[in-house]
Structure 1
Amino acid sequence: FAFSYALDPSVDTHQASSNTYIGAVDEAEKNKGLTVFETGHKKSEKRKKLKGGDAGEIDNFLGPWAKYVDEKDVAKPSEDEQKELDEITAKRQKKGRNEEDAPADEKTILHVKDMYDYQGRSYLHVPQDVGINLRSADAPDKCYLPKKQIHVWSGHTKGVSAIRLFPSSGHLLLSCSMDCKIKLWEVYGERRCIRTFIGHSKAVRDICFNNTGTQFLSAAYDRYLKLWDSETGQCISRFTNRKVPYCVKFNPDEDKQNLFVAGMSDKKIVQWDIRTGEVVQEYDRHLGAVNTITFVDENRRFVSTSDDKSLRVWEWDIPVDFKYIAEPSMHSMPAVTLSPNGKWLACQSMDNQILIFGAQNRFRLNKKKVFKGHMVAGYACQVDFSPDMSYVVSGDADGKLNIWDWKTTKLYHRIKAHDKVCISALWHPHETSKVITCGWDGQIKLWD
């Protein structure tokens, strides 16, 4: 069928005439009924190559690499093609410009009447009249199970993706949401919304306070990381490498508060210096998008997990992972939390379990401690520990808050917390039984 005609098999071949062909009969007549095996076309002459020097002279010898005599080096589009190409590029530039190049303008709304109290202290000041010492360095001696809901913070119009308590004191709560906004709430007193930070054009995925809580970073799907002033609400700087940041963390060391790392959609962990706005290091070993970064071992190292179902441990500022943990049986672990005593990493695994890895030197899986009984497949539900290490808490896909006993790994308690996914659960560091949850129903709840 190379020529689109064939002999009609139903006709006796001895009486072959033009009507014995089927298919493109006129083609058949033109080619005098030749078949593929006896084609009339002569093979064209072989293309001549440039002769190139003598094999003895290395520089001038072309040999088999020589070009053809009639070879064209440059292919230029015809006028019509050029027109079409110009239109396409113009469209592309137009499209790109709206989305990429203009970061959304930042603004902030203060929701409380007075920014400063009668002594000139802002809301970052740790309150001392809440019936509990928020400045103490010690965790409560014994924690208890939270039983009931005592407050709902509502104000986000779409799902809340992450919540973070103010460092060390926990008297403020920062939340980021799919409605592109970030909000700061009071945890004590009237529990008002204090400030809204507006400046991302797409859903905000992660937030992280610096050590003092004066600034925080936000990472969003508009591919920008932004540094904000917690007190004035001003956006101090923006960072982007044109990829989506999935998680962001300040280096917790006091002398490295100008450095932060972000796990990216293009498999890299990128380290920025806030003072210059430059990328100063890239950790590029993962084979999938990076979901979590957790500092361990007195902040000399950090652990990252990724869609490639592995867990990698890095020395700070050294771009090669010194430990790589991946078993055929392992699932992706999109949420990781370090225990209050710094010894364990709790990893939310996509096979509906929380796995515990040692966080100090061996990073071995602790096979005795596996927490299950909840449904989280497909959701990066944040895990947390009670400050005295007696309980493990986690949300799940059904919107429930699950509480396990750390020692026995028994599931003690389940509370229906949210209508949709309960994506995060935080145990207050100074309280015996207060847990804060947030969900994709847009609500943040306080349990006691």
Structure 2
Amino acid sequence: MEMFSPVGDQLRAEEMKEVSVFEVKKVRTGEKRRRKDKGDPADLDGYMGPWREYEDEVKVSKPTPEQMVILDEQFGEKLKAKEKKEDDTITESTILHVENPCDYLGRSYLHIRQDLDVDLRTEEPPPKCFSPKKLVHTWVGHTKGVAAIRLFPHSGHLVLSAGMDSKIKLWEVYGERRLLRTFVGHAKAVRDICFSCKGTRFLSCSYDRYIKLWDTETGECLARFTNKKTPYCVRFNPDEDKQNLFLVGCADKKIYCFNIDSGEIVQEYDRHLGAVNTITFVDGNRRFVTTSDDKSLRVWEWDIPVDMKYVAEPHMHSMPAVTLSPNEKWLACQSMDNTILVYGVHNNFRLNRKKNFKGHMVAGYACSADFSPEGSLVVSGDADGKLTVWEWRTTRIVTRFKAHDSVCISCLWLPHETSKVISCGWDGKIHLWD
């Protein structure tokens, strides 16, 4: 029990003033700070009123207009020097990891092989697909986590990986499964990558606020673009006659359309209320769908900066990953409430309530899902590093197994295989499952 002396109690009583039975107000010690005289209210220019200054107030002098000009010049030079220094440090280079990138006929690694058990040139998917069961191969090369993987268009004989170590790597899927080339040119982690329709070029966007165009075969950086905003996703226009245009979804809530030939922004789509996470082309590439941190889904006509469809319900969560089905009729959206929601492309983007895939844990992570080539199975990674496979018709879980030591952020089904899936995770590894 705390004890007080009579002298201490008296001093404390002098310091405290009783306002009521339940309140005690501390008495202010020392002199109160005085304000200047408010002046005569009749004097409009001299009257200061309740806004008058304190007598002991010290003013900080403002620079004169001449001094402001000098300061602006000095700070402007420092800012330009800083930007130039940042540009100078980002030098693009490439590393070839194979002795000879061409075969005995002089064909580069972009050439689609024909000496395999599976025909990589056909457009027909396998008649029936099955869930993968065992690990076949592991690609190791990234020193940090892998953020995204992309298959070579149509054939899928090459896989491109974007790493958090700011490097991009190209790997063989068939044969010796070698590391072919490393692309170095970003100062920070690479967020997203995208092949052109023929695969000869690809785009990469990074947290260093640059979007870069690369030659897949030579490794040369063909162009660099920036709008001083952090890009979250990048997509080529899939049409062959529009390969000089690409879209970038940024953290400033806007979608920008860049022209590769001029290097300028030719269109802005500014309707979202949060950072743009995904861009997906639908309906014969005449329209594209975007999702954002504002928990909405918007549909746009190409080159028209007003959304034609806006989907936002009170129960909706953010959807940071979207995948188009092989028949282009459905959009599988990874929702932050640990479900995969399905929207119909041809029925005015209405939610299909019968197709609701659950059982995995993805809250807080942009884990992308994918379809089997004929559309009978859906596969997705999760925050625990597991791969989950569902049956499309019944939404029943077919299999679930541990794939990575950390978050399994992306998975892709090989377009001509019945059960081969490539997955990547934040443990820096890329796995091939069969």
TM-score (norm: length of structure 1) = 0.83
Partners of 2:119 and 2:89 in 1: CA distance: 41
Is 1:326 equivalent to 2:312 in the alignment? yes
Call closer, same or farther: CA 1:218–1:103 in 2, change over 3 Å.
farther
* Code of the aligned partner of 2:243: Q
Q: Which runs of 5+ in 1 are unaligned?
A: 1-7, 11-20, 50-74
User: Do residues 401 (structure 1) and 398 (structure 2) align?
Assistant: no
Asked whether 1:231 is paired with 2:228, we answer no
Q: From the superposition, tell whether residues 105 and 216 of structure 1 become closer, same or farther in structure 2 (CA, over 3 Å).
A: same
Aligned residues: 396
Specify which of 104, 115, 120 is matched with residue 129 of structure 1.
115
Structure 1 residue 375 corresponds to structure 2 residue 361: yes
Give the counterpart of 2:136 among 150, 154, 157.
Answer: 150
How well do the aligned residues superpose, as a CA RMSD in angstroms? 2.7
Give 1:77 deviation, angstroms.
Answer: 1.3
Equivalent position amino acid for 2:121 in 1: R
Q: Which residue of 2 aligns with 1:69?
A: none
Q: Which amino acid aligns with 1:248?
A: V
Matched, 1:422 2:408: yes
Superposition deviation, residue 126 in structure 1: 0.2
Unaligned runs of 5+ in 2: 1-14, 18-26, 47-60
CA drift of 1:93 comes to 2.4
Identity of aligned residues (%): 65
Alpha-carbon contact 1:294-1:337 (below 8 Å) kept:
yes
2:163 — aligned with what?
177
Please state how far the C-alpha of 1:411 moved relative to its aligned partner: 1.2
- Alpha-carbon distance between aligned partners in 2 of 1:407 and 1:380, rounded to the nearest angstrom: 25
Amino acid across the alignment from 2:43: K
CA contact (8 A) 1:394 1:401 kept: yes
Give the equivalent residue in structure 2 for 1:268: 254
Shift of 1:94: 7.5
- Residues of 2 paired with 1:440 and 1:101: CA distance? 29
Larger CA Rg, structure 1 vs 2: 1
Partners of 2:80 and 2:285 in 1: CA distance: 44
Number of the residue aligned with 1:249: 235
Offset of 1:97 from its aligned partner?
2.6
Structure 1 pair 96–290 and aligned structure 2 pair: CA distance change class (3 A): farther
Alignment of 1:47 onto 2:44 = yes
**In 1, Cα distance between equivalents of 2:85 and 2:280:** 31
Cα deviation code 1:370-400 (max 9, x no counterpart): 0000000010001100011110000000000
Instruction: Name the residue aligned to 1:351.
Output: 337
Q: Secondary structure at the match of 1:112?
A: coil
Q: Specify the alignment match of 1:387 in structure 2.
A: 373
- Kindly provide the CA deviation profile for residues 49-94 of structure 1, in whole angstroms up to 9, marking residues without a partner as x: 9xxxxxxxxxxxxxxxxxxxxxxxxx95169x97996799479628
Flag the 1:271–1:103 CA change in 2: closer, same or farther, 3 A: farther
| Deviations 1:172-204 (CA, angstroms, capped at 9, x unpaired) | 000001000000000000000000000000000
TM-score normalised per structure 2: 0.86
Shift, 1:99, TM fit: 7.0
The 1:48/1:290 distance shift into structure 2, 3 A limit, reads same
Partner SS, residue 241 of structure 2: helix
Deviation at residue 328 of structure 1 after TM alignment: 0.6
* Structure 1 contact 296–360 (Cα < 8 Å) conserved: no
1:110/1:196 contact within 8 Å kept? yes
Q: What is the Cα deviation at residue 129 of structure 1?
A: 1.0
DSSP-derived class of the 2:401 partner: strand
Q: CA deviation at 1:360?
A: 2.2
Aligned equivalents of 1:200, 1:22: Cα separation in 2: 60
Show the counterpart of 2:428. 442
Aligned counterpart for 2:245 among listed residues 241, 259, 267:
259
Counterparts of 1:365 and 1:243, CA distance in 2: 32
Q: CA deviation at 1:47?
A: 3.5
Give, in whole Å, the separation in 2 of the partners of 1:431 and 1:124: 19
Quick one: which amino acid aligns to residue 211 of structure 2? Answer: L
Shift of 1:100: 4.8
User: Does the C-alpha gap of structure 1 residues 94 and 354 become closer, same or farther in structure 2, counting only changes over 3 Å?
Assistant: same
- What letter is aligned with 1:119? L
Amino acid at match of 1:46: D
